[in-house]
Structure 1
Amino acid sequence: MNECSIANNLSKQNASAKPVSKWINKRFGVELICFLLLLLFSYAAVSKLIEYNSFVGQLRKSPYLEQYASIVAWLVPVVECIIVLLLLFKKTRLTGLFASFGLMLMFTAYIYTMLNFSFYIPCSCGGILALMSWTQHFWFNVIFTVLALTGVLLMVVRRQ
């Protein structure tokens, strides 16, 4: 073989390897995003359930949720647990990512509303998230909302 044919063979091998490596990178990205969301939602659900009385008490102080505190106190951790289950299985992962995006978008909108339109801001988060300021929590939620959306887009692109 001459140098030109060797170079052509190498370029053909690299060209065929690129789609595979992109697929692996997308798959790894989705797996990483799902893992981070699994950690977030399982931690959040468990901490809310462990500190249930405190969680309900803080929700009752919210100017927007006080009437619905008892319902929200059960609904949010249950939804978080359902999302965890959806993210665990490959067949339901895309649904879990859509649900993660929707829930994180609602949490982010709630925090934005509280920061900009509320005279009193109670902290209904448990565990380590309670150590963040409301502004830090807002940006934390923005990051996880973008991550969930990125996971959705990566899965949709990967299926094409």
Structure 2
Amino acid sequence: MKKYQWLYELIIYLMALLFLYTAASKLMDMRYFIRAVHRQPFPRAADPFLIIGVPIVELITGFALLVVKMRKFGLISSVTLMFVFSIYVGLAVFHVFKKVPCGCAGVFQSMGWPEHLVFNIAFLALAIIGLKFHVIQKRNITVGKGQPAI
């Protein structure tokens, strides 16, 4: 794992940057984010949960990635979030919804749906690779202590 440690760390910091940036962008331009959520094709009852929940979950995920003891949780959260976001963007790309505004923040507002889908899939792949490296690293540490790898 040592030869891939730099790649593992790069993935961790890229994922953390992504989630912390998107959460901060939403929080700094909350009016835009609230308007975008209100225009989503979801039941209106979901709006408060999305408005509060999405930035909070992104912040928790970003910070979890930066805390070594919470990395596994951060990576699992990253995979889950990127998978869900990719499905949502995929549905927009294939016109499952009549019209979907992007609830994205910052530089992501300027992306088209196809570009956004490619971006999300790429970061989903990074998150999966990061999780795989994390599992391998933990297994190697356990084996190194004379305990069986499970």
How big is each residue's C-alpha offset from its partner over 1:58-93, in whole Å with a ceiling of 9 and x where there is no partner? 111111254312220110110011111211111111
Paired residue for 1:112, among 90, 107, 119?
90
1:24 CA drift (Å): 1.9
Which residue of the partner structure matches residue 62 of structure 1?
Answer: 40
In structure 1, the gaps of 5 or more residues are 1-22
Cα 1:131–1:103, aligned 2, differ >3 Å: closer, same or farther? same
Instruction: Return the alpha-carbon distance in structure 2 between the equivalents of residues 65 and 123 of structure 1.
Output: 16
Cα 1:67–1:115, aligned 2, differ >3 Å: closer, same or farther? farther
Which residue of the partner structure matches residue 46 of structure 1?
Answer: 24
Q: Is the 8 A contact 1:59 1:66 kept in 2?
A: no
Aligned residues: CA RMSD: 1.2
With normalisation by structure 1, the TM-score equals 0.82
- State the one-letter code of the partner of 1:78: I
Asked if 1:146 is matched to 2:125, the reply is yes
Instruction: Return the alpha-carbon distance in structure 1 between the equivalents of residues 23 and 107 of structure 2.
Output: 13
Instruction: Return the alpha-carbon distance in structure 2 between the equivalents of residues 111 and 130 of structure 1.
Output: 13
Which residue of the partner structure matches residue 85 of structure 1?
Answer: 63
Number of matched pairs: 138
Choose between structure 1 and 2: higher helix proportion: 1
Instruction: Return the alpha-carbon distance in structure 1 between the equivalents of residues 102 and 83 of structure 2.
Output: 18
- State the one-letter code of the partner of 2:130: G
State the structure with more CA Rg: 1
Which aligned runs of 4 or more in structure 1 are off by greater than 4 angstroms? none
Instruction: Return the alpha-carbon distance in structure 2 between the equivalents of residues 129 and 25 of structure 1.
Output: 33
Identity %: 32
1:112 CA drift (Å): 1.1
1:158 CA drift (Å): 1.9
In structure 2, the gaps of 5 or more residues are 140-150
Instruction: Return the alpha-carbon distance in structure 1 between the equivalents of residues 43 and 27 of structure 2.
Output: 18
Which residue of the partner structure matches residue 14 of structure 2?
Answer: 36
Which residue of the partner structure matches residue 148 of structure 2?
Answer: none
Asked if 1:99 is matched to 2:77, the reply is yes
Instruction: Return the alpha-carbon distance in structure 1 between the equivalents of residues 40 and 3 of structure 2.
Output: 42
Instruction: Return the alpha-carbon distance in structure 2 between the equivalents of residues 92 and 157 of structure 1.
Output: 16
* Correspondences of 1:1-12 after superposition (within 5 Å): none
1:49 CA drift (Å): 0.6
